Amino acid sequence: MKMERVINEAYEKIKLIKIQGATNIALFALQTIEAAAGKQKLSWQDIFRISKKLALARDNEPLTRNVLSMLLGDLKDDTSQPAVKKAAAYYKNLIKTNKKKMAETASALINNQGIYLSHCHSTSLEKAFITAYQQGKRFSVWQTETRPLYQGRVTAVNLFKAGIPVRLIVDDTAAWLISVYDDVADIQAVFAGADVLCRDGWVINKVGTYGLALAAHEAGIPFYVVASLLKFQNQKGSEVKIELRPTKEVWFKKPKGLKVVNLAFDKTPAKFITGLATEAGLIKPEEVYQKAKEFYPGLQDRFNES
């Protein structure tokens, strides 16, 4: 019963976005499985059941699905507590190592005296900005607040604490600041993370990303995505179902009968993406499929196939 409580509480935290960011969700899922294995002896089917519950808590989280799928592959012959602990540690380290590699790649895109716009909260993108600052580069960031849950405030606070000049803006301001007509910000590049990397180079990210990519394209400035190839999902962008969140996140006490739509993500076509900073370096959208298969040849989604 205690183990089930741990799993159910973890599921709710992921579902209700108490854990923010794809990387943090994946790390949290690994920690949860490790904790469950510490409470009682688990069979492979037990670990599969727990993994599936956590992996499918949200629709657009392939990083968690891919990592837990690989974890299950490693535990096929041994599900003892030491084996689970060792496998979980390996994938936690892989995620952290990839984040460091992505930060190094993305930091090379950040110039001294540059002015950049960032959307939502991506721990990988955040680390890239902080890495560039620690390299001695001095630049500023305009950060969207990212309604309705204000994840962008997390990025703004963390960059501020790191000493990086950052301005928080409402989401509706961003496209204008990117445009050639703006005389306030002089944005030189737009950065975003991604929750899903599709096989045709499209990316799925926090709603609002598509509009920023369009604005950057129109303004003739780069639009970069910072994301791990572990977020690869073997679907075209047009095939991916977008998660609908509860309407109360937008308007808790809306008038009865008034319809509210709360899309969690949107889709950005490959043609609007200048490049992706990944563990494979800076790649073009059309290289995503090849690089994902090259780096993770055994990648498979065990949960949506069952």
Print the SS3 string covering 240-285: CCCCECCHHHCCCCCCCCCCCCCECEEEECHHHCCEEEECCEEECH
The region of weakest confidence among 1-5, 17-21, 126-130, 262-266 is: 1-5
The answer on 282 and 228 residing in a single domain is yes
pLDDT, residue 38, reads 86
What is the distance between the alpha carbons of residues 240 and 236, in angstroms, rounded to a whole number? 7
Pairing of strands 196-198, 203-206: antiparallel
The answer on 286 and 272 residing in a single domain is yes
Q: Is the peptide bond before 82 cis (omega within 30 degrees of 0)?
A: no
Domain, as residue range, for 237: 104-295
The region of weakest confidence among 25-29, 97-101, 299-303 is: 299-303
pLDDT, residue 17, reads 85
Per the structure, how many domains does the chain have? Answer: 2
Mean pLDDT over each residue of the chain, to the nearest integer: 94
pLDDT, residue 306, reads 42
What is the distance between the alpha carbons of residues 65 and 51, in angstroms, rounded to a whole number? 8
pLDDT tops 60 at residue 129:
yes
The answer on 61 and 129 residing in a single domain is no
Residue where a domain terminates, one of 52, 80, 100: 100
Is 188 a domain residue?
yes
**Token code pair at residue 81:** 């507590």
pTM of the model: 0.93
Helix (H) or strand (E) holding 95: helix 81-107
The answer on 280 and 195 residing in a single domain is yes
pLDDT tops 80 at residue 250:
yes
The region of weakest confidence among 52-61, 136-145, 226-235 is: 52-61
The answer on 132 and 56 residing in a single domain is no
Average pLDDT over residues 86-98: 96
pLDDT in tens, 221-230: 999 999 999 9
Q: What amino acid positions are annotated as catalytic residues? A: 195
pLDDT, residue 305, reads 52
Beta strands in 138-268 (DSSP E): 140-144, 166-169, 189-192, 196-198, 203-206, 223-226, 232-233, 265-268
Residue where a domain terminates, one of 100, 123, 146: 100
The answer on 159 and 184 residing in a single domain is yes
The region of weakest confidence among 53-57, 97-101, 167-171 is: 53-57
Q: What is the CATH number of the domain that holds 131?
A: 3.40.50.10470
Is 304 a domain residue?
no
What is the distance between the alpha carbons of residues 11 and 13, in angstroms, rounded to a whole number? 5
Average pLDDT over residues 198-217: 98
